[in-house]
Amino acid sequence: MGLKRAIITGGTGGLGSAIARKLKEEEWEVLALGSDDLNLTDPGAVGDFFRRNPCELLICVAGLVRDEIIFRMSERSWDEVFCINYTAARLTAFAALQRMMERGTGHIVFISSHAAIHPAPGQAAYASAKAALLGLTKDLAGEYGSSGIRINAVLPGFLETPMTQGIEGSRREEVLKAHALGKFNTTAAVAGFIWFLHEHLPFTSGQVFQLDSRP
């Protein structure tokens, strides 16, 4: 029997909130974590949280965008972007895995980005961190598959969320034109896909799913 508990990091943001709503509609217990709920960069705090809160499904949504041309970007900014987008996901995944292994089942979904494959200028730190998540997905899927645990990654595409509100109009139009369907993806569609992936594709692991219409 599944535990029917999902933990979402970045669970109070635009995408995280949409995923939480969808899972609650499907009668899941959801712990949607915001930045004030758990320090995702503190290994001790993360480990303690997951010891007290085992889950069937972990979705690592928490992210940080701080685009800047690489030679202008400070080491501190680089480290902060990499820490939130990759290190925090790694720490939470490792902590969740310990409890999943005890139960012999579980699923982790990393939210990566189209930038991991085709970064725009100024996205070196963000793209590097999101690309590292893809490597982590493949490695963990192979390592923990025999324990009944699935690991997948999702590239949701450009979403109209508070995280993207600061992108200027000309850049937004440029991104839109790169979509074959002429439309952006939605948070609701991404949430629905993640639910479907977990509930209806039980033999799928180690995969990367790009959900927008950019070639």
Active site residues: 126
CA distances 181 to 109, 137, 193, 213, Å, are 26, 28, 18, 6
Rounded-to-integer distance, Cα 148 and Cα 141, Å? 10
Instruction: Compute the chain's Rg from CA coordinates.
Output: 17
Beta bridge partners of 29: 5
Backbone region of residue 106 per phi and psi (left: phi > 0; alpha: psi in -120 to 50; beta: other values): left
User: Does residue 34 contact residue 88 with C-beta atoms inside 8 Å?
Assistant: no
Rounded-to-integer distance, Cα 126 and Cα 70, Å? 11
DSSP 155-188: E--S--SGGGTTS-HHHHHHHHHTSTTSS---HH
Residue in 11, 63, 5 with CA at minimum distance from that of residue 37: 11
